[in-house]
Amino acid sequence: MLQYALLHLFGYAVSIDDLKHFRQVDSITPGHPESHDTPGIEVTTGPLGQGFSNAVGLAIAQAHTAAVFNKPGFDLIDNYTYCFFGDGCAMEGIASEAASTAGHLQLGNLIAIYDDNHISIDGDTKCAFTEDVLKRFEAYGWHTLHVKDGDHDLEGIEAAIAEAKKVKDKPTVIKLTTTIGFGSKLQGTGGVHGNPLKADDIKQVKEKFGFDPEKTFVVPQEVYDLYHKHAAEGAAAEQEWNKLFEKYGQEHKALHADLARRLTRDLPEGWQNKLPTYKPTDAAIASRKLSESVLEAIHETIPELISGSADLTGSNNTRWKNAVDFQPPSLGIGDYSGRYMRYGVREHAMAAMMNGMSAYGTIIPAGGTFLNFVSYAAGAVRLSSLSHQRVIYVATHDSIGLGEDGPTHQPIETLAHFRALPNMMVWRPADGNETSAAYYMALTSKSTPSILALTRQNLPQLDSSTIEKAIKGGYVVLEDPEANITLVSTGSEVAICLEAVKTLKDRHNIRARVASLPCVEVFDAQPKDYKLSVIPDGIVAMSVEVMSTLGWEKYSHEQFGLNRFGASGPYKKVYEKFEFTPEGIAKRAVATVDFYKDVKPLRSPLNRAFTQLI
């Protein structure tokens, strides 16, 4: 509510009426601020630790954008990033990860204010949180300050911020010791965290601070005047910046055009011509390597693409050959114009920092980890979706096909999880053209994040795949007008299904067609006629994907999957153990054809009685 009230005072499109509709259906003032809904909200926060980590991402984006575009006489990109956080955020591991990263990266323009009020939902923080927070931030390499009387010492706060700005090579945390609900009868207790104050308490608070206790939702004109004056100063600064940017355009034409384009979120024209394409005769390649080839091919054309990994660079294949690390120059291993992020083993903060980087508006972040460990980042991945950020998760080692690392690392539930998440594209490409298609959609979808599930093991190039077909999310890989069954599959299992077609024909006299569904979310959005051409009426369909079958009932009558944990071993042996072989698929296809032979009419599973709410 403080954010909404301030936005109102500063003249953003948040009216008194909007404030009155706080936490009401279809208002622009939901219970926690959402960047997509409310003018002036920069990132979607509420889930603890996310906002802090978003701030680190915004500061990374600022440092990078400044390093790329600032020139002598043109300090175009010089903003500070401010963030308020409380004890709850300070306890969350994601914020620890982000703070450690910010200290390492020496993000001098980041100023975080720690509202040290000793209270969390469970009451006095003494019950769970007795560490020395400033000492911890010092250990991370932050500049630390303490304002002891945050309730009254406004000069102290201003002085601390001024001091923070002087330190250029460290982020600053200002510990502000405060009283929660200052002025209320319940001040200093958890009772003022989420509940409205009682009527008599509101009255005495208003009196205490010189307001008329009988009036509600009233802002004195002098308060509006004060805030509007500041807002006008901001607007004037924006005008000045616009002039500076115009002048910049005369001296640095290409850079000017690049920055102006980035702010529209459009990609450079013709970039898609750089996407690699493959012929059936090309070698079998792991899709993590195919992803690397895409990055290699497009990184020069798309300068806003910033790749990185949570300490799995060599496994995720996220780094193009001549990449420079994004690093503080003093370390001697990169600089702030570098486009490769070393996130460390910090998956959750990586995701939340990428949300912040994307929100800044000049960057498209892509970050790698094993698919199984995208789950470590689930809290932030959810917010990529909810806040419409174009963030790309490069999720390699996507199944039991990773082999030896075993069940602790083999995803079973992961794709079902993220397919159930609204506004998320989950891609599981089957070959090179499908991998290029996944990147095409991930990069051109301005307000939808993507997870690219990629293999460790090699995949043959399919006979009939093209980028154009695959960007529909699903298409027919092998047609047969007389087919008895459609095999619906993704990723590494598509090629095994194609083998199974031969087994079915040769040994069982059953004819099969094969559909590849690299992205069910994109497929769902196609016209119904098209979808029914891929998974038609009258032919039974069986899905084949080497993980949880949950959700595949939507695209098939029967499902072959893995509803148990995997096994450690060489990947082909693991596939054999679970019968993900042409024979294993054929056996189940035979049972499926037999089971459905008497059903009339046999409708495609895509034919539904009513439309879902979306």
Q: Which residues are catalytic?
A: 347
- Looking at the Cβ atoms of 369 and 465, the one nearer to a copy of itself is 369
- Which residue in 17, 31, 39, 223 binds a copy of itself (CB under 8 A)? 31
Neighbours of 130 (CB within 10 A): 7
Coil vs helix vs strand at 590: helix
d(CA 557, CA 535): 11
In this structure, the chain runs to a length of 614
Stretch that binds a copy of itself, among 261-269, 280-288, 407-415, 505-513 (CB under 8 A): 407-415
Using CB under 8 A as the criterion, what x/- string covers residues 534-573 for binding a copy of itself?
--------------xxxx-xx--xxxxxxxxx-xxxx--x
E strand segments, 224-325: 285-286, 305-309
Half-sphere exposure of 549 (CA within 13 A, CB side): 14
- Looking at the Cβ atoms of 159 and 331, the one nearer to a copy of itself is 331
Residue 119, marked binder: yes
d(CA 320, CA 443): 17
Stretch that binds a copy of itself, among 92-100, 107-115, 145-153, 243-251 (CB under 8 A): 92-100
Cis peptide before 328 (omega within 30 of 0): no
- Which residue in 65, 172, 313, 484 binds a copy of itself (CB under 8 A)? 313
By CB under 8 A, the residues from 376 to 395 that bind a copy of itself are: 376, 378-379, 382-383, 385-386
Q: Does 408 bind a copy of itself (CB under 8 A)?
A: yes
By CB under 8 A, the residues from 190 to 229 that bind a copy of itself are: 190
- Which residue in 422, 447, 506, 507 binds a copy of itself (CB under 8 A)? 422
- Which residue in 1, 16, 128, 235 binds a copy of itself (CB under 8 A)? 128
- Looking at the Cβ atoms of 188 and 379, the one nearer to a copy of itself is 379
Picking from 556, 552, 518, the residue whose alpha carbon sits closest to that of residue 535 is: 556
The least distance separating a copy of itself from the CB of residue 136, rounded to whole angstroms, comes to 4
- Looking at the Cβ atoms of 97 and 115, the one nearer to a copy of itself is 97
Report in angstroms the alpha-carbon separations of 110 from 10, 34, 96, 169, 406: 23, 22, 15, 10, 41
Structure tokens at 318: 């996220």
Residue 397, marked binder: yes
d(CA 66, CA 264): 18
- Which residue in 404, 479, 506, 537 binds a copy of itself (CB under 8 A)? 404
| Residues in Cβ contact with 316 at an 8 Å cutoff, skipping those fewer than 6 apart | 288, 309, 368, 369, 370, 394, 396
Residue 193, marked binder: yes
Stretch that binds a copy of itself, among 4-12, 432-440, 527-535, 593-601 (CB under 8 A): 593-601
- Is residue 549 within 8 A of residue 560, CB to CB? The reply is yes
Stretch that binds a copy of itself, among 231-239, 285-293, 296-304, 373-381 (CB under 8 A): 373-381
- Which residue in 55, 94, 290, 534 binds a copy of itself (CB under 8 A)? 94
Residue 288, marked binder: yes
Using CB under 8 A as the criterion, what x/- string covers residues 328-367 for binding a copy of itself?
---x-x--------xxxxx-xx------------------
Report phi then psi at 451, rounded to 5.
Answer: -115, 120
Coil vs helix vs strand at 153: coil
- Which residue in 1, 6, 16, 139 binds a copy of itself (CB under 8 A)? 139
Count of residues that interact with a copy of itself, criterion CB under 8 A:
134
Residue 48, marked binder: yes
Stretch that binds a copy of itself, among 62-70, 397-405, 488-496, 527-535 (CB under 8 A): 397-405
The least distance separating a copy of itself from the CB of residue 25, rounded to whole angstroms, comes to 3
- The sign of the dihedral angle between the CA atoms of 198, 202, 208, 209 is positive
For residues 508-527, one letter each, b for 16 or more C-beta atoms within 10 angstroms of the residue's C-beta and e for the rest, the string is eebbbbbbbbbbbbbbbebe
Chain centroid offset of residue 259 CA: 23
Q: Does 39 bind a copy of itself (CB under 8 A)?
A: no
Residue 47, marked binder: yes
- Looking at the Cβ atoms of 271 and 373, the one nearer to a copy of itself is 373
Largest CA distance in the chain: 89
- Looking at the Cβ atoms of 13 and 128, the one nearer to a copy of itself is 128
Structure tokens at 394: 């490069």
Bridge partners (DSSP) of residue 110 are 81
Q: Is 8 exposed, middle or buried (0-12, 13-18, 19+ CB in 10 A)?
A: buried
The least distance separating a copy of itself from the CB of residue 254, rounded to whole angstroms, comes to 31
Stretch that binds a copy of itself, among 144-152, 252-260, 282-290, 604-612 (CB under 8 A): 604-612
- Looking at the Cβ atoms of 266 and 404, the one nearer to a copy of itself is 404
d(CA 492, CA 460): 9
- Which residue in 32, 152, 229, 528 binds a copy of itself (CB under 8 A)? 32
Coil vs helix vs strand at 234: helix
- Is residue 15 within 8 A of residue 8, CB to CB? The reply is yes
d(CA 1, CA 346): 31
Q: Does 264 bind a copy of itself (CB under 8 A)?
A: no
Residue 180, marked binder: no
- Which residue in 93, 220, 234, 280 binds a copy of itself (CB under 8 A)? 93
E strand segments, 440-508: 450-453, 458-459, 475-478, 485-489
Residue type at 140 in one-letter notation: Y
- Which residue in 96, 293, 433, 450 binds a copy of itself (CB under 8 A)? 96
Residue 270, marked binder: no
Residue listed under structure tokens 């406004």: 154
- Looking at the Cβ atoms of 78 and 404, the one nearer to a copy of itself is 404
Residue set of the binding site: 46-48, 87-88, 117, 119, 193, 288, 315, 373, 397, 405, 409, 456
Residue set of the binding site for thiamine diphosphate: 46-48, 88, 117, 193, 373
Residue set of the binding site for Mg(2+): 87, 117, 119
